[in-house]
Amino acid sequence: MEREGNKQELKKGPWKPEEDLLLTRYIETHGEGKWATVSKRSGLMRGGKSCRLRWKNYLRPNLKRGGMSEEEEDLIIRMHKLLGNRWSLIAGRLPGRTDNEVKNYWNTHLTKRQPQQKPEGPKLKRRKLSHLTDAQPIYHQSPNKTDELDEGNDIQTTIKGAEEGSNAMTAVSHSWMDVIKSSNNEIQSQWLPMDVKFYEEPYLPFLDSRFCIESFGVGAENYWTGSLSYILDDLYPVLL
């Protein structure tokens, strides 16, 4: 779906310095957003998408230019292992870096170094935000496991079940969903950027615990112990 006016009138290709200046001045005056109107009002004969991309990826203040540091590279690798090609999420953990930059860096520098492997399981789907207020839980990976939710149980019971049961990931994730829904979506993860809340990525708190474990040296054999301990000891008390 593309409705941005007459395409014949829209300019394409590399941006010129004067166009950058025009766009920067416009945004400094009017602020970000309403990209569809930027073209008309700023005098730029560019589509809204093009303006948005140029601003977000190149003109926006506080962008970090230049090569990735070893720390950034390491974080990208670990985050990609965890999240897959969720470039915007990965970039969100790298201050001053854009999703496009991270994606390009991955494709040009890091893919060669990574062992050739296809992502396991179904492809991660784009998140859906609005239905968290619904009764139905959200699934990114396992849409066929709805019936495994321990409905009506509190988090302790569910986690206990998870510890004992075979599908711990599902149970813990569902517990998180319940906690998140009952907390007015105001929880912040220590691993998320400040402007991203749990309701935007309901699995992230859970994934965060896994991220901690995988990234900071806890072995796979301690995965569940570590996850549950993280949730119970560090996060769950805060929510009560």
The residue ranges that bind DNA (CB under 7 A) are: 1-4, 11-15, 33-37, 46, 48-50, 52-54, 57-58, 67, 85-89, 99-101, 103-105, 107-109, 125-131
SS3 of 38, please? Answer: helix
Q: Shortest Cβ distance from residue 135 to DNA (Å)?
A: 15
Q: Shortest Cβ distance from residue 160 to DNA (Å)?
A: 32
Q: How many Å apart are CA 78 and CA 90, to the nearest integer? A: 10
SS3 of 161, please? Answer: helix
Nearer to DNA, 14 or 115 (CB): 14
Nearer to DNA, 110 or 212 (CB): 110
Q: Shortest Cβ distance from residue 240 to DNA (Å)?
A: 28
Nearer to DNA, 72 or 150 (CB): 72
The two three-digit tokens of residue 125, written as one number: 């789907």
List the Cα angle 111/116/118 in 5-degree steps. Answer: 105
- Please report where in the chains the tokens 């139905």 appear, as a residue: 136
Nearer to DNA, 81 or 109 (CB): 109
Nearer to DNA, 61 or 152 (CB): 61
Cα 75 from chain centroid (whole Å): 14
Please spell the DSSP secondary structure of 208-231, one letter per residue: HHHHHHHHTT--GGGHHHHHHHII
Q: What is the 3-state secondary structure (H, E, C) of 88-110?
A: HHHHHCCCCCCHHHHHHHHHHHH
Q: Shortest Cβ distance from residue 166 to DNA (Å)?
A: 29
Q: Shortest Cβ distance from residue 217 to DNA (Å)?
A: 27
Nearer to DNA, 128 or 154 (CB): 128
Q: How many Å apart are CA 163 and CA 228, to the nearest integer? A: 8
17 CB neighbour count, 10 Å cutoff: 7
Q: Shortest Cβ distance from residue 239 to DNA (Å)?
A: 23
Element (H, E) at 223: helix 223-229
